[in-house]
Amino acid sequence: MSEITYLQAVSDALKEEMRRDEKVFMIGEDMGVYGGCFGVTRGFLDEFGDERLIDTPISEGGFTGVAIGAAMAGYRPVVEYMFSDFVTCAMDLITNQAAKARFMLGGQVTIPLVIRTPAGSGTGAAAQHSQSLEAWFCHVPGLKVVMPSTPYDAKGLLKSAIREDNAILFYEHKLLYSTKGEVPEEEYVLPIGKANVMREGKDVTIISYSLTALKALKAAEMLEKDGIDAEVLDLRTLSPLDTDAIIASVKKTGKALVTHEGVQKFGVGAEVASLIGDSEAFFYLDRPVRRLGGEDIPIPYSPQLEMQVVPQPDTIYACVKGLLA
């Protein structure tokens, strides 16, 4: 095992898959000479050349369409948007083409397409570069949505995503790039659609994903000082959801909080809460399921305000305390 950053884990996964399969190529803005907006593809141009690391004009709709066509022709494109907010510039391509082509053509083609993009707040990038829009795509049949929280998960899930024959949105929270974790030196992949119990507990289940899962871990440490044993379940994949893991954890603890950075209204937490309510886990609940998501407001530029509109360890802690009161 080696301790590496989340950014290095993503970079290593891309390199390994490009070396393994010559059909894998990358396309997006400033990926080559510049090395990517956050440095993920630094040095790739020297190894893979400009035919497999394609710098594009500022036209998400244009190069996403190119990637979809390439996927239908047998290639395995990995698209990168500089910021996840820019999915809005390619919504028709993602939701009406990439998501539906395999179904509408009766399985005559596959769409092995990965769209990688940095998401979330915390960098002072304001309202148009700081959103968490993953719930949009969870609502679209034909798309898979992956949001890993650790270097280990990021590498294993990205390698699996590139090998998939379906379109996948792969979100990498900006504040996770500098976090570190142990990653095996030998090759491995992780199954898409499987959650991970990050911390075992018996008193309450905190369900989360991406950066907020790490905040939930910190909140669990705070709760432990109060004698509360919290279980933290990292969803890792939002579509498909690991319903078995969610139900098993809630049946064990009898209480659940779902927390995420995306706006709470109509968010992932609502789906998870509904899933629990419609399952056998409902009969094990001692309290109603709670949700804690982002405020219904654009992300402010001010660092102080930015922190206040998305869940933090102390607000997760307070919400669990309220749930147990």
Instruction: Please give the full DSSP string across 248-294, using - where no structure is assigned.
Output: HHHHHHS-EEEEEEEESTTSHHHHHHHHHHTSGGGGG-SSPPEEEEE
Q: Report the distance separating Cα 170 and Cα 234, nearest Å.
A: 16
Predicted local confidence at residue 45, as pLDDT:
96
Q: Report the distance separating Cα 310 and Cα 109, nearest Å.
A: 40
Predicted local confidence at residue 235, as pLDDT:
98
Q: Report the distance separating Cα 26 and Cα 225, nearest Å.
A: 47
Q: 135: which 2 tokens?
A: 């719930």
Predicted local confidence at residue 33, as pLDDT:
92
To the nearest whole number, what is the mean pLDDT of the chain? 97
User: For the residues 11-37, what does the mean pLDDT come to?
Assistant: 96
- Does the domain at 196-324 match CATH 3.40.50.920? Answer given as yes
Name the band, by pLDDT with cuts 50, 70 and 90, for residue 268.
Answer: very high
Answer whether 94's CB lies under 8 Å from 67's CB.
Answer: no
Bridge partners for 207 per DSSP:
233, 258
Q: What is the CATH number of domain 2-183?
A: 3.40.50.970
Which DSSP symbol is given to 298? Answer: P
From the list 58, 71, 51, the residue with the least C-alpha distance to 28 is 58
Q: Report the distance separating Cα 212 and Cα 262, nearest Å.
A: 10
Over the stretch 104-126, which tens digit does the pLDDT of each residue have?
999 999 999 999 999 999 999 99
> Mapping DSSP to helix (H, G, I), strand (E, B) and coil, where does residue 198 land?
strand
Q: 208: which 2 tokens?
A: 């989360």
* Sheet strands (E) in the chain: 2-5, 24-28, 53-55, 76-80, 114-119, 143-146, 167-173, 180-183, 196-199, 204-208, 230-234, 237-239, 256-263, 290-294
Share of the chain above pLDDT 70, in %: 100
Predicted local confidence at residue 47, as pLDDT:
97
In the chain, residues under CATH classification 3.40.50.970 are: 2-183
Q: Report the distance separating Cα 117 and Cα 288, nearest Å.
A: 34
Name the band, by pLDDT with cuts 50, 70 and 90, for residue 267.
Answer: very high
User: For the residues 5-15, what does the mean pLDDT come to?
Assistant: 98
In the chain, residues under CATH classification 3.40.50.920 are: 196-324
Share of the chain above pLDDT 90, in %: 100
Catalytic site positions: 129
Q: Report the distance separating Cα 284 and Cα 20, nearest Å.
A: 47
User: For the residues 168-192, what does the mean pLDDT come to?
Assistant: 98
Over the stretch 25-81, which tens digit does the pLDDT of each residue have?
999 999 999 999 999 999 999 999 999 999 999 999 999 999 999 999 999 999 999
Q: Report the distance separating Cα 15 and Cα 78, nearest Å.
A: 12
**Whether the model pTM is above 0.95:** yes
Q: Report the distance separating Cα 14 and Cα 12, nearest Å.
A: 5
Q: 286: which 2 tokens?
A: 């001692």
